[in-house]
Amino acid sequence: MKHKLSVTLDEELVYEIVRVLSSGKFRNKSHFLEYAAKKLLEEENGFRT
């Protein structure tokens, strides 16, 4: 189950995310942020999905 969130990010960070999206690796900003959150949790806590 997915939950909708609202986040506030620095404008420069958003521009970089959009730039990465143009590579086609991620479907959209939500997909990018979900991937980034999972990677951070894996590195910090050994989190696995």
Across all residues in the chain, what is the average pLDDT? 94
Distance in angstroms (rounded) separating the CA atoms of residues 17 and 6:
16
Q: CA distances (Å), 5 to each of 15, 23, 24, 30, 48, in order? A: 19, 24, 23, 9, 21
Question: pLDDT at position 47, please?
Answer: 77
* Side chain identity at residue 16, one-letter code: E
pLDDT at 4 over 90: yes
| Single pTM value for the model | 0.82
Residue 7: partners with Cβ closer than 8 Å, 6 or more residues away: 33
- Tens of pLDDT, residue by residue over 6-23, are 999 999 999 999 999 999
